[in-house]
Structure 1
């Protein structure tokens, strides 16, 4: 992965000061980019611990270290900005499970997403060649491809022909692509689970794009976990920022912009709802109106588990992967996501599960394990999905409940209480459609109607994920305007 070059014309714009509200991955990325350009940077974080959704805590029992939000990080490992930083010098170590992903089926087998295309050919059988034709062009040119798709439009693409191919492949719905490309239910189910990360209906245009990006990332950079948990990413970013002179103030909730010290640039790792609350009359009426129209996406219902042993999967292949998708067939996954879009919860919801202690034993006492699972629910849902989640796990791992030592349930409201950016449990920073993907939260993207005030959260392009590119892109916008 090649580093992103800093524009020499804007590397040292002037002796200036920047304030950043929020110490999530995007806020920290913005802070680092501004500090690299010679600015004095202070970061203000409301919680006691920096990281936003990239935090690791003892959520169940002492000695069991759980990820509050993100657990598996293909986009962090493949981020153009993060890979340009010496984060490995500050304790960040990636662990790769033998297979990035497992998807168990009702016949007692599992289909695996293998890192190697040669292994994928064998695993996917009659669909192996079709899978390779779809994924390999993007995986083999990941550095340039990731740089293009994680930049805001109208950036000039570094690989225009590859980006054009991606547009053709990714604009259709996941259901359409699966039916057209794959003959077997196994390959369709694997692709459907990848596409369900979009939190969109699988018959909706653009839903295929998430499957292609995540599948290509698996082959290019893997789906690794950070040793010690997601907090290791945050700790590496904060440590590197400190070497650039940046300072972080935790337990410092900013309720009004007037609380900040005088500065030339204010970066807000906040969603539109929080920006409206703290910026008040400093924004024009028309811009405030546009922010009020911003739409949030579905939420998640999440459960963290302390376990007495590894999950007893019927398909032993599931023990090769840090991430497991529980959803059965493509049709079942599509029905689950369609129900969420209609304000309902399917009786068999699609589950994303992480089992990091199979590969990082430092996160639980000897012989014990942790797991993390969630399903998509309507934004702000109050429905208790615990039984539905555990029934899905038991479907593919009978006896799972007997392994549970303790559990911690997070409703959408609970998630938002621990991270105000997770509005209604929305972990993606806003609903996804073509307009809200490219022009989020408004056509101004990172700029606001107030001079020197910018948004840098996942509510700006390129959207959700631990990649820091929203923060990096916002910082570059601010530096250009300072120049």
Structure 2
């Protein structure tokens, strides 16, 4: 810990908290980060759960297209710092009960060829957007308050119009018109499962359009060794610029923190209200406490003796597998979740990191990362639901299981305080809540207390490992609290 009081304090060491801390430290400020857990990283931690010697598991996120594509990480440049990222040939797969799976290759033309008769409509949907992907990224990951830099010319505006048209086509009841084949419909809908919500919908369509586009641009990479490698690079940069991280440091109130000119909270909206209780204006306190949680995820970490025996062996080429069957089946399962019912066949996500990172295998055993969608705060053990859903598309999978550990939605917050009730999105995510996160205000990051900012995924742009919420909040703190208008360079030091 620094001997002098810090200029700025960050609460929470997730990707957004660390992005804020690095940005502030790069501006020459003294920064301290406080983390409640004994390990750092929030939703990007990789831990040994004790299931098998040497086997580690990613605690929330495992696959990271935005760790390359987001403007924050593009400037921070993980690869230039030596972080190795594996990019599977197949970004994601959608298996079916009968017939071959639908595959989204990193290469668009390979995807079109695999889709056969359905391929041309997939090319028409995504091909025109690939020329200037940054336009779509900035629209999706902007602060929703300022004009993205890529929109200051006619070409950028035209590309955003194309992106918006595709998004809108998948957000309403006519979503089957531009994607008329079962394979293209389900392939797109599987990506929508990265947001837990009603299908079709604006928030799910926006997320799916961006992530599916990135699958054909930067791909869907994973860090060698696990998600923790991303956080470790951020911590190394913070410490190289004089900052520090303090773990096992739960903060209940701002009075628990050292005196500082700025406080940035990578926390839930509810925790932000708690930490500034008695200090925050009443209207903001009410708004934060009234920010509703979203639907939930429940997680199962498995140790297996072999790769998943997919009925279609081509699925094993994918870094991420979306399980739910057809578009109609997935929409029905998500409708159950939104209504507060546990689906009989929930939407699941599966990733086997060892397929592309042999370092994850130890003594013939490998981790398998899985989660499924469940109602908010659901207490049910998700293990059997997920195993049955994998067995549905990979008969014999159960025989490969050596050990497992499950976390129901109702207990997700014990591993990450921001995941209240299993809400890994840190608050409900809808078209309205893309802009009004966590409240209806032009100053979404401000907490109404001089120098206090919310920098978590409870603020724009959206949930995800992109660092943008932290970067935006830190830039506001630099400008408004320290009089530093120029955003510091984040590139690796020479």
1:115/1:219 contact within 8 Å kept: yes
Aligned position for 1:80: 71
| Distance across 2 between alignment mates of 1:467 and 1:78 | 8
The answer to whether the Cα contact below 8 Å between 1:170 and 1:206 also exists between their aligned partners in 2 is: no
1:199 equivalent in alignment to 2:196 = yes
Note if contact 1:95-1:224 (Cα within 8 Å) is conserved in structure 2: yes
Contact map agreement 2:343 2:374 (CA 8 A) in 1: no
Supply the distance in 2 between the matched residues of 1:380 and 1:91 (Cα, whole angstroms): 39
Give CA deviations for 1:299-358 in whole Å, capped at 9, x if unaligned.
Answer: 111101100111111100011011111111100000011110000121111111111111
Q: What SS class does the counterpart of residue 92 from structure 2 fall into?
A: strand
Partner of 2:35: 45
Query: Which residue of 325, 328, 332 maps to 2:329?
Result: 332
Question: Which of 354, 365, 370 is the matching residue for 1:368?
Answer: 365
- 2:473 equivalent to 1:474: yes
For residues 353 and 437 of structure 1, what CA distance do their matches in structure 2 show? 27
Of residues 130, 148, 153 in structure 1, which corresponds to 2:144?
A: 153
Within 5 Å, give how 1:305-320 maps onto structure 2: 305-320=302-317
Instruction: Determine if contact 2:381/2:406 at 8 Å carries over to the other structure.
Output: no
Equivalent residue for 1:34, pick from 24, 47, 63: 24
Distance across 1 between alignment mates of 2:291 and 2:169? 24
Displacement of 1:82: 1.1
Quote how far apart the aligned CAs of 1:147 are.
2.5
CA deviation string 1:128-166 (max 9, x = no partner): 222122223333322343123211122113233322332
Per the TM alignment, residue 91 of structure 1 is displaced from its structure 2 partner at its CA by 4.3
Shift of 1:208: 1.6
Distance (whole Å) between structure 2 residues aligned to residue 464 and residue 177 of structure 1: 27
Give, in whole Å, the separation in 1 of the partners of 2:77 and 2:112: 35
Q: Which runs of 5+ in 2 are unaligned?
A: 152-156, 484-494
- Shift in Å, 1:176: 3.8
State TM-score, norm by structure 1: 0.94
Equivalent residues in 2 for 1:95-174, closer than 5 Å: 95-157=86-148, 158-159=150-151, 160-174=157-171
Q: 1:172 offset after TM fit, Å?
A: 4.7
Partner of 1:446: 445
- In structure 2, relative to structure 1, the CA distance for the partners of 1:89 and 1:245 (3 Å cut) is farther
Partners of 2:414 and 2:340 in 1: CA distance: 22
One of 55, 66, 73 as aligned partner of 2:57: 66
After TM superposition, give the deviation of residue 174 of structure 1 in Å.
4.4
How far apart are the structure 2 equivalents of 1:87 and 1:117? 25
- 1:109 and 1:174 mapped to 2: Cα distance? 27
Say whether 1:56 aligns with 2:46: yes
Between the aligned partners of 2:145 and 2:435, the Cα distance in structure 1 is 10
- C-alpha change, 1:178 and 1:435, in structure 2 (3 Å) is closer
Partner of 1:32: helix, strand, or coil? helix
- For the pair 1:455 / 2:445, whether they are aligned, the reply is no
d(CA) in 1 for partners of 2:236, 2:130: 31
Please give the alpha-carbon distance, in whole angstroms, between the structure 2 residues aligned to 1:187 and 1:49: 41
Q: CA RMSD in A?
A: 1.6
The separation in 2 between residues aligned to 1:364 and 1:68, in whole angstroms, is 17
**TM superposition shift of 1:86:** 4.1
Alignment partners' CA distance in 1, 2:89 and 2:110: 11
1:255-404 equivalences under 5 Å are 255-404=252-401
Pair 35,138 (structure 1): closer, same or farther in 2 beyond 3 Å? farther
Whole-Å Cα distance in 2 between the matches of residues 352 and 76 of structure 1? 19
Once the two structures are TM-superposed, the CA of residue 364 in structure 1 deviates from its matched residue by 2.5
